[in-house]
Structure 1
Amino acid sequence: MSTLDIRDVHKSYGRTETLKGIDISLAHGEFLVLLGPSGCGKSTLLNIIAGLAEPTSGDVLIDGRSVVGMHPKNRDISMVFQSYALYPNLTVRRNIGFGLEMRKVPAAEREKAVLEAAKLLQIEALLDRKPAQLSGGQRQRVAIGRALVRKPRLFLFDEPLSNLDAKLRLETRTELKRLHQMLNTTIVYVTHDQVEAMTLATRIAVMRDGRIEQLGTPKEIYDRPATRYVAGFVGAPPMNMLDAVAKGGRLVLADADTSLPLPVAFQASVGDGQAVTVGMRPEALHVADSTSGSTLGTTAEVIELTGPEIVATLRLGGAAGQRIVACLPPRTPIGEGDPCRLAVDPDTIHLFDPESGRSLERVEAAP
């Protein structure tokens, strides 16, 4: 069993506070992704868990035991770095087994562990090569193998895929998912890539300016973002954000001379005349037909065919209207400058407070 508890962790460098009270509890086997932009504090938090930095205040417990002040080698963790950190003069075999060698593990036991890790990562044929003879994806697998042979209580990953090209990132991401399912080990993973976070995590901690904006499952983060920041950060393309005012049970969009019904779920929390920010996922919009209810009149400005879909940037109303992005089927007959009516399902709308950025309270109907 391997659990992790982070309790009110703060970290300051002089007068600069980089972590401002982090609280997270992980059960055994969870895959936590720390997600956020550069400078939000995610790598600092990972280094504190690893023992490469100490918190200014707060506590970190692994399996219920505080590890603050404990040397990294005594924490029973393994860390995979962004830069691979392989020894260029050693073979893959020795790179994977180096940590065991330093701990005086017998040669036969060490060789068995190396072979097991290599087989799991499908790199048995590479054991006698040196890092210079490997591709980026192969080097990253060797770095992961070096962590695996330790059989630690906790795995830490610091943006391990950011040096790989798009195809290798996809392949290695799939391997990491498979490994977690097989090993059922607790993992903390740092990334700025929301696709990695959504596909790998059992829970995501979205970080901003040293704080956690929201902690939840990928589905919770995507379907019920707690703040406008989370809604805009998670999702590709990002969620559309439109200024509006609630009037007479409708959402009147600014500069568009159009309105949408106020969703039933928000009718108890939004007052008449209240300014709101309307959030709509691009994939929740589609070209209106004769059966569509709520629609928006738009003009297409930019059409981008990605292959599986068209990403259309459109403008609401006239030249001064707000822009909106929609993900449409690839054979949609639409060109730049064409008028287009978009249908909106009111149940997919999100509402945020324009000042605080917090999601407005949603009251779901009884089943």
Structure 2
Amino acid sequence: MASIDITDVRKAYGSTKILHGVDLTIKDGEFVVLVGPSGCGKSTLLRMIAGLEDISSGEIRIGGKVVNDLDPKDRDIAMVFQSYALYPNLTVHRNIGFGLEMRKVDKATRDRAVHETAKLLQIENLLERKPGQLSGGQRQRVAIGRALVRNPKIFLFDEPLSNLDAKLRMEMRTELKRLHQLTKTTVVYVTHDQIEAMTLATRIAVMRNGRIEQLDTPETIYNRPATLYVATFVGAPPMNLLSATAGEGGVRIDGTDIPVPVPGLENAPPGRRLVLGIRPEAIGTSGQGLPLAARCEVAELTGPELVVTATIGSQRLVATLPASAKVQAGDEIALSADPTLFHVFDAETEQRLN
């Protein structure tokens, strides 16, 4: 079993607290992504799983075995870093097989493992080249191959695609997804990119200030964010957040006279301060649903869609419309949205209500 159990793990440097009692269970074969902004503690948590950082308190188990005091080499994990960290004087073949070479694995077995790994990563034709002769994407494949060839229980990835350009990142995301489907190995992956998290993960842990804000499937994280923070972090363009107040007949968006009949909030006490969340893609011009009279400020054609930034009342919102929509800056536009797709949060606690 390659499960990971993290129980009340804390990390502090002197009086500075980094992790505040993290609890996380990762099942055998899962692809769990730790996502959050810089400084939220995600890389620290990953390094503690790897044994590169000591934990201040709590417990980490790998396959049911407590590993708090085990050296990294004894944890049967492999880690891929943001930097490729390849040996420039060695060929791709020797870079991939270097770990096996250090473990005194015989040459025939080592060569066979390297060739099988290179075939899996589709870099068989690069084995005799040196890192200086490779592109960024090829170097990252070699770094992944060096981890893969060991056949570890767990793979740890620390922002491995952040040095690549947008096109290569997309290609490597596909490769990582394919590799996980083939190997079924447990993966813990750290990133600040919510697109990587959504496309790769079986479950996502959204982190904030040393705590896990929400842990769930990508679908649930996107469709039912538990807090305002999760709602704004996941989604591109991000969710619209409109200040609103509970009142007679529904939720009233500040600066408008529109009562919004949000299911589940019929009995909210009048005057309660709320935040109404609307995904840009939930807004259209079909006229079906709640009418939203708005004024276009900016219209940006991205190719497949038109991203419109508009004002509703005294507040701003973004809508993604079909590319064929005829909208220009300054136009008065009749938008509409389905109230059942709205997300409502308490303005004070920032917790989801509906």
Q: Same fold (TM over 0.5)?
A: yes
In 1, Cα distance between equivalents of 2:252 and 2:139:
54
Q: Which amino acid aligns with 1:125?
A: N
User: 1:27-57: CA deviations, max 9, x gaps?
Assistant: 1110000000000000000000000001100
**3-state SS in 1 of match to 2:198:** helix
In 2, Cα distance between equivalents of 1:191 and 1:260:
39
* 2:339 matched residue in structure 1: 346
Contact kept in structure 2, 1:35 and 1:204, CA below 8 Å: yes
In 1, Cα distance between equivalents of 2:289 and 2:36:
37
Deviation at 1:295, TM superposition (A): 0.8
Q: Under a length normalisation based on structure 2, what TM-score does the superposition of the two structures give?
A: 0.99
| Residue-pair matches, total | 354
Are positions 1:172 and 2:172 aligned together? yes
* 1:245 matched residue in structure 2: 245
Deviation at 1:247, TM superposition (A): 1.1
* 2:321 matched residue in structure 1: 328
In 2, Cα distance between equivalents of 1:18 and 1:293:
45
Deviation at 1:254, TM superposition (A): 1.0
Deviation at 1:287, TM superposition (A): 1.1
* 1:298 matched residue in structure 2: 294
Contact kept in structure 1, 2:296 and 2:331, CA below 8 Å: yes
* 1:101 matched residue in structure 2: 101
Pick aligned residue for 1:355 from 337, 344, 348: 348
In 2, Cα distance between equivalents of 1:132 and 1:326:
45
Deviation at 1:253, TM superposition (A): 1.1
User: 1:337-363: CA deviations, max 9, x gaps?
Assistant: 000111110110000011111111x3x
Aligned-residue Cα RMSD (Å) equals: 0.9
Q: Segments of 4+ in structure 1 off by > 6 A? A: none
User: 1:77-104: CA deviations, max 9, x gaps?
Assistant: 0000000111111100000000000000
Contact kept in structure 2, 1:156 and 1:188, CA below 8 Å: yes
* 1:281 matched residue in structure 2: 279
In 2, Cα distance between equivalents of 1:302 and 1:311:
8
Q: Under a length normalisation based on structure 1, what TM-score does the superposition of the two structures give?
A: 0.95
Q: Which amino acid aligns with 2:133?
A: Q
Contact kept in structure 2, 1:288 and 1:295, CA below 8 Å: no
* 2:114 matched residue in structure 1: 114
Unaligned 5+ runs, structure 2: none
Contact kept in structure 1, 2:93 and 2:128, CA below 8 Å: yes
Q: Which amino acid aligns with 1:309?
A: E
Map of 1:81-100 to 2, 5 A cutoff?
A: 81-100=81-100
In 1, Cα distance between equivalents of 2:315 and 2:282:
18
In 2, Cα distance between equivalents of 1:258 and 1:124:
65
Q: Which amino acid aligns with 2:323?
A: P
Map of 1:229-240 to 2, 5 A cutoff?
A: 229-240=229-240
In 2, Cα distance between equivalents of 1:267 and 1:220:
24
**3-state SS in 1 of match to 2:308:** strand
**3-state SS in 2 of match to 1:219:** helix
Q: Which amino acid aligns with 1:195?
A: I
**3-state SS in 1 of match to 2:323:** coil
In 2, Cα distance between equivalents of 1:183 and 1:86:
23
In 1, Cα distance between equivalents of 2:291 and 2:160:
43
Deviation at 1:263, TM superposition (A): 1.5
Are positions 1:313 and 2:309 aligned together? yes
Deviation at 1:261, TM superposition (A): 2.5
Are positions 1:71 and 2:71 aligned together? yes
Q: Which amino acid aligns with 1:250?
A: G
Q: Which amino acid aligns with 2:184?
A: N
Identical counterparts, % of pairs? 61
Are positions 1:138 and 2:138 aligned together? yes
In 2, Cα distance between equivalents of 1:34 and 1:177:
16
Deviation at 1:266, TM superposition (A): 2.6
Contact kept in structure 2, 1:33 and 1:188, CA below 8 Å: yes
In 1, Cα distance between equivalents of 2:298 and 2:48:
45
User: 1:309-333: CA deviations, max 9, x gaps?
Assistant: 111100113xxx1000001000101
User: 1:85-132: CA deviations, max 9, x gaps?
Assistant: 111111000000000000000000000000000000000000000000
**3-state SS in 1 of match to 2:309:** strand
**3-state SS in 1 of match to 2:264:** helix
Unaligned 5+ runs, structure 1: 363-367
Q: Which amino acid aligns with 1:336?
A: A
User: 1:244-291: CA deviations, max 9, x gaps?
Assistant: 111112221112x232422122324x22221110000000000143xx
In structure 2, the CA distance between the partners of 1:293 and 1:284, relative to structure 1 (3 Å rule), is closer
Deviation at 1:154, TM superposition (A): 0.4
In 1, Cα distance between equivalents of 2:205 and 2:289:
37
**3-state SS in 2 of match to 1:265:** coil
* 1:365 matched residue in structure 2: none
* 2:258 matched residue in structure 1: 259
* 2:211 matched residue in structure 1: 211
- Bigger CA drift: 243-252 or 29-38? 243-252
